[in-house]
Structure 1
Amino acid sequence: MKLANPAPLGLFGFALTTWLLSMANAGLLPEGALMPLVLAMAFAFGGTAQFFAGLMEMAKGNTFGFVAFCSYGAFWWSFALFVKFFVGGIPATVAGADVGAAVAWYLFVWGALTFAMWIATFALNRAVFLVFTALVPTFFLLGFGKLLGNPLLGTIGGYGGLITAALAFYTGAAEVINEAHGKTVLPLGTRA
């Protein structure tokens, strides 16, 4: 029995949620206007759909897809939980730089995981490699922006997120379109 390819579901869940949050990080739209949508996407599509895609990758025996989609699905859940339920409960005496430093370390540990996954992409197609090549600096730029209280780094990180989202969207679209047409319509840059 042939199983469907879960990668496009995970890639689209990641791309669309990343796109919305990155628009706020880049300063293209007010954070207050976007955040309810980002949280909804983070719970439903970025988190849940991506996590299920990871479980489907496990069933197919794809360790990279399993770890990537389940990890970033959990990232979106943890992000949404923090913003919705926990950040508001931080006492005012702890707010400010301490929260910024905590968020920075949250972003740094995700950057470290992403770096490890990026090394694995050297063996995969170039499209997936490019997604992770853009995502690694995005996490670190956003993290240093929070740690240093430097909004410019956060803005640059937001634009990095938009590039990452566009690459992930292209990769997901290529997977669906190529399979539907039974030929390569959008190249993924397969490794030799």
Structure 2
Amino acid sequence: MEHIINVTEVQSAKAASNHRIEPSTQDKIGSPAISQFNQDYSRLSSNSPEPCLPPRQEPQPSPFEVRKFANPAPLGLCAFALTSFLSNCINLNVGGIQAAGVSVSLALNYGGIAQVLAGMWEMAIGNTFGATSFCSYGAYWITFSLISTFDTADATQAVADSVCQNETLMGLFMLAWFIFTTLMLVCTLRSSLAMFSLFFFLDMNYLLLGISHIQCSSHGETLIAVQKAGGVFGLLAAFSAWYNAFAGICDSSNGFFTVPLGHFPWSPAAHLHRAKAKEV
């Protein structure tokens, strides 16, 4: 009799150990309840009472989901505008200045590094055009500062032929940026008139400066008139960049008026304005 009881108890214990409570589909591994409370369901027998779990908590939102990014475009536009303004004043030979350490430092730090950072932030908010343009022109100003530094260091040792070769290479460098700016100009046709004007003036600036550098004589002289015309378009591009930057800064939070940018009739902003006018 005792043997039968012992066998029965052993069988009951085995059955109890084999019959485990499986977690429900909503409490599988990785769900908030399992990950937060880490209950071991394998040790609960069929005769055990239901575990008293605390109420299920929803996962807390990540701080990145509620964080708001500022508009990085005005920073990149101001960096481009100030650097372009000073550089084209040198192209126009204002005050007889040919090169200055201030312009080189400005091109490296403000026009270069600040624009690259603005491009990275544009990429973070999902603006492909802003990221491409700011990073590219930031790299242009960094390259320009390095070229100006090395040319100044080697100016005393250069002969006429090497100077002309450097001018021709600089002209090709400018024409390459003219091609890139033309591509960016096409992409502004659905934007605003102010942004289109900025890239148009910049495009003409690169074209004329490229022509002035590539038409080098045997004495290393450039076409001064074409260079000054390119400098004028460069100044117009700088003021256009400042205007676009001011339009991005002067919004409803810190301004008493809205800066008009102008929109093409086929742009999405113009379509939205006409749709609102019809509703009224």
TM-score with structure 2 length normalisation?
A: 0.65
Aligned ranges 1:126-137 → 2 under 5 Å: 126-137=193-204
CA distance in 2, matches of 1:105, 1:7: 29
Q: Distance in 1 between matches of 2:90 and 2:151?
A: 20
Structure 1 stretches of at least 4 aligned residues deviating more than 3 Å after TM superposition: 86-91, 179-184
- Structure 2 equivalent of residue 123 of structure 1: 190
Q: Distance in 1 between matches of 2:137 and 2:90?
A: 19
Partner deviation per Cα, 1:42-70 (whole Å, 9 max, x = no partner):
11110011110000000010000000000
Partner residue in 2 for 1:62: 127
- What residue number does 1:165 align with? 238
Give runs of aligned pairs for residues 84-123 of structure 1, distance below 5 A.
Answer: 84-85=149-150, 88-89=153-154, 92-93=158-159, 94-123=161-190
Say if 2:140 is the partner of 1:75. yes
Structure 1 partner of 2:20: none
- Hey, what does 1:142 align to over in structure 2? 209
- Equivalent pair of 2:116/2:139 in contact (CA under 8 Å): yes
Q: Which shifted more, 163-172 or 22-31?
A: 22-31
Distance in structure 2 (CA, Å) of the matches to 1:131 and 1:75: 17
Deviation at 1:99, TM superposition (A): 1.1
Task: Determine the structure 1 residue equivalent to 2:276.
Answer: none
How many aligned residue pairs are there?
Answer: 191
Larger radius of gyration: 2
Which residue of 1 is the match for residue 115 of structure 2? Answer: 50
RMSD: 1.7
Question: In the alignment, residue 165 of structure 1 is paired with which amino acid?
Answer: A
Residue 26 of structure 1 and its aligned partner are, at CA, apart by 1.3
Q: Which amino acid aligns with 1:139?
A: Y
Match of 2:25 in 1: none
Task: Read off the aligned partner of 1:28 and give its amino acid letter.
Answer: V
Structure 2 letter corresponding to 1:132: F
Structure 2 vs 1, CA of residues 128 and 84 (structure 1 numbering), >3 Å: closer, same or farther?
same
Q: Higher helix share goes to which structure? A: 1
SS at match of 1:122: coil
Q: Percent identity?
A: 34
Alpha-carbon displacement from aligned partner over 1:76-124 (angstroms, at most 9, x marks no partner): 0000011113563476244222111011001000111000010101121
Gaps of 5+ in 2: 1-66, 216-221, 271-280
Contact 2:252 2:258 (8 Å CA) reproduced: no
TM-score (norm 1): 0.93
SS at match of 2:162: coil
